[in-house]
Amino acid sequence: MTLLKATSLAHAFDYPLFEDISLTLAAGESMAIVGVSGSGKSTLMHILSSMLRPNRGTVELFGEDIYRLSDAELVKLRRNDLGLIYQSHYLFKGFSAYENLEVAAILADQKIDPVLLERLGIERVIGQKVTELSGGQQQRVSIARVLSKKPRLIFADEPTGNLDHATAGEVMEIFEEYLREQHAAMVLVTHDESLASRCTHLYRMQNGLLNAI
Ligand SMILES: Nc1ncnc2c1ncn2[C@@H]1O[C@H](COP(=O)(O)OP(=O)(O)OP(=O)(O)O)[C@@H](O)[C@H]1O
Ligand SMILES: [Mg+2]
């Protein structure tokens, strides 16, 4: 089943970033996007994940043309079906890590899985304020928050950028298991080619093109 289908995407800010990008992603699959800094990976991710309307082209998620949905429909889609892990983590700073997970889980009507917290190695710091956590711990809390929602599509922009190699590998394993068990799919932007090569599809963003490698 196709969860994501993008057709002829084009976008420019000060200069054209890409002209004609098409891709599809099926349930259970993952797609890695690599490329030099500034090549447009995060911009593409924002477009695919409903956060930025492209200059041209369409994005279908679960068969729906998302940029034709109403604001209310978009909010519902993001809340229930999309898991967004961005380069800067959007955690509520005044709350504890656990409260951050609770907010997401309650909104999506899901339960927090204690085994997930243990596997991410954050079970002992989960009661602390977000501001008291290290960058890597905050990153793992964001991952736990997103997976607790049980999204059908995950968009992860350098989710392991602050983690050591072993922890990054463990996080990747958690993602892989999640996709298998939930029949979900993931778009992963990463500078780590060893993680990228574990994905079903591997693309490089280069000169405005997304080339399979
Ligand atoms: N909101 C915006 N307004 C204007 N220009 C932007 C905006 N967002 C991104 N850009 C520009 O688009 C280009 C691509 O940015 P983008 O964040 O997509 O790159 P990236 O491939 O994710 O890079 P990195 O690996 O450093 O995260 C950059 O030159 C950036 O300055
Ligand atoms: Mg980026």
Tens digit of pLDDT for each residue in 8-23? 999 999 999 999 999 9
Which segment of 24-38, 57-71, 76-90 scores lowest on mean pLDDT? 76-90
Nearest atom (ligand 1) to Cα of 44: 18
Of the ranges 6-10, 28-32, 209-213, which one carries the lowest mean pLDDT score? Answer: 209-213
* Secondary element (H or E) of residue 99: helix 97-107
- Domains of the chain (ranges, CATH numbers): 2-212 (3.40.50.300)
pLDDT at position 44: 97
- Please write the tens of the pLDDT for every residue from 169-180: 999 999 999 999
User: Which ligand 1 atom is the nearest neighbour of the CA of 35?
Assistant: 21
Which pLDDT value is given to residue 86? 82
Q: What is the CA radius of gyration of the chain?
A: 17
User: Which residues lie with the beta carbon below 6 Å from any ligand 1 atom?
Assistant: 13, 17, 35, 37-43
Share of the chain above pLDDT 90, in %: 92
| Rounded Cα gap, residues 27 and 205, in angstroms | 23
Residue type, 32: A
pLDDT in tens, 66-120: 999 999 999 999 999 999 998 766 788 999 999 999 999 998 899 999 999 999 9
User: Looking at residue 204, what is its pLDDT?
Assistant: 97
Is residue 122 within 8 A of residue 163, CB to CB? The reply is no
Give the residue whose CA is nearest to atom 25 of ligand 1.
37
Given pLDDT bands bounded at 50, 70 and 90, which one contains residue 185? very high
85-110 burial, b at 16+ Cβ within 10 Å, e below that, comes to bbeebebeeeebbbebbeebbeeeee
Strands of the sheet containing 185-189, edge to edge, are 82-85, 153-157, 185-189, 30-34, 201-206, 209-212
Banded model confidence at residue 162, pLDDT cuts 50, 70, 90: confident
pTM of the model: 0.93
What is the rounded average pLDDT for all residues in the chain? 94
Q: Is the pLDDT of residue 129 over 90?
A: yes
Cα gap 213→211, rounded to integer Å: 6
User: Which residue lies with its CA nearest to atom 18 of ligand 1?
Assistant: 40
pLDDT in tens, 47-56: 999 999 999 9
The whole-angstrom separation of Cα 121 and Cα 123 is: 6
Question: What pLDDT shows up at residue 171?
Answer: 93
CA 175, 117, 174 angle in degrees (round to 5)?
A: 15
What is the distance in A from the centroid of ligand 1 to the CA of 40? 5
Least confident of 31-45, 87-101, 132-146: 87-101
* pLDDT surpasses 90 at 187: yes
